[in-house]
């Protein structure tokens, strides 16, 4: 049996927020381990992540885990944010550095994810999730340095590792072996990105340093550019095959980067797990059936 966690981003438009909350209710039928919400503030300083986390948490019993990125905020602001999450009953967070630049260098801020993780561990009782990079962090000088830093984050208080998405399973399996070899005994969730827009994924890959196998290039190049259904069906098939092959290697914990795509995410999980009626905080009987009709 495989376990899944799901990652969403907080929409800025109210109708999209409503759609995401309904999507979360549907996906709760599949008993995901948790739903993580990426970090987002709007232009007037409202914490969109807090807003979505609170709304989803009020509707379902699935654990909701907000991302916290420290690069653009002061230490005071990050602790205040953590208090906000704690006050609404959030028990876990994803602690990340995030992207920053010289604009934020004058802030009294946490320098990296390790320092931020230590601060959270000292001040709160959160379960803390951290990022791992099967192909190496883009800024890392070596694989060994990457592993040493990951171990330092775990010593600082990280309880679980979520990996960056990857397409070559061998990269993940080698990474898992290296994690074990360095004495890091934390659970690892393998990051899977189902593809529905190959050109966009290639842009993502350049930013995060992920590799696109030539075999994927060839598969997607054989489909017409405007054949959206064909592209999504291929992306679904690739993700399912990737998970199936990792299962054979003893991997049973997967983190899906959903990009808020309802049908694609649901179809992939449905291949492995059948929905059951969760104990939601609102009556959503028949929601799955209605969602199928609407998709």
**Which residues are catalytic, by number?**
7
Q: What angle do CA 118, 120, 124 make, to 5 degrees?
A: 130
d(CA 49, CA 67): 8
The neighbour count for residue 40, using CB atoms within 10 Å, is 19
Q: What is the rounded distance in angstroms from the CA atom of residue 90 to the CA atom of residue 127?
A: 10
- Listing DSSP states for 67-83 in one string gives EEE-TTS-HHHHHHHHH
Closest to 232 in 3D by CA, of 220, 216, 244, 246? 220
Q: What is the DSSP letter of 167?
A: S
Neighbouring C-beta atoms of residue 230, cutoff 10 Å? 13
The two counts, helices (H) then strands (E), for the chain are 11, 8
Tokens of 146: 């990457």
Structure tokens at 185: 């005994």
- Evaluate whether 90 touches 53 at the Cβ level (below 8 Å): yes
d(CA 60, CA 10) in angstroms, rounded, equals 17
Q: Which residues contact 265 (CB under 8 A, 6 or more apart)?
A: 6, 27, 194, 256, 258
What is the three-class DSSP state of 84?
Answer: helix
Q: How far apart are CA 11 and CA 260, in angstroms?
A: 9
């Amino acid at each position: 049996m495989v376990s899944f966690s799901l990652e969403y981003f907080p929409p800025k438009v109210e109708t999209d927020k409503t759609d995401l909350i309904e999507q979360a209710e549907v996906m709760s039928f599949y008993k995901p381990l948790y739903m993580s919400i990426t970090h987002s503030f709007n232009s007037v300083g409202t914490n969109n992540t807090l807003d979505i986390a609170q709304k989803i948490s009020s509707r379902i019993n699935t654990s909701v885990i907000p991302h916290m990125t420290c690069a653009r905020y002061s230490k005071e602001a990050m602790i205040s944010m953590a208090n906000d999450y704690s006050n609404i009953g959030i028990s876990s967070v994803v602690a990340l550095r995030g992207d920053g630049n010289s604009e934020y260098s004058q802030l009294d801020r946490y320098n990296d994810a390790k320092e931020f993780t230590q601060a959270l561990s000292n001040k709160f009782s959160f379960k803390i999730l951290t990022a791992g990079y099967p192909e190496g962090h883009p800024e890392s000088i070596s694989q060994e340095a990457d592993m040493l830093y990951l171990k330092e984050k775990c010593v600082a208080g990280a309880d679980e590792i979520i990996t960056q998405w990857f397409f070559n399973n061998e990269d993940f399996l080698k990474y898992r072996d290296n994690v074990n070899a360095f004495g890091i005994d934390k659970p690892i969730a393998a990051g899977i990105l189902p593809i529905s827009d190959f050109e966009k994924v290639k842009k993502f890959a350049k930013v995060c340093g992920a590799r696109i196998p030539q075999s994927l290039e060839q598969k997607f190049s054989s489909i017409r550019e405007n054949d959206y259904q064909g592209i999504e069906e291929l992306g679904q098939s690739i993700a399912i095959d990737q998970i199936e092959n990792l299962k054979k290697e003893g991997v049973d914990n997967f983190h899906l980067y959903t990009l808020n795509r309802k049908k694609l995410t649901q179809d992939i999980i449905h291949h492995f797990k059948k929905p059951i009626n969760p104990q939601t905080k609102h009556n959503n009987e028949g929601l799955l059936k209605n969602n199928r009709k609407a998709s």
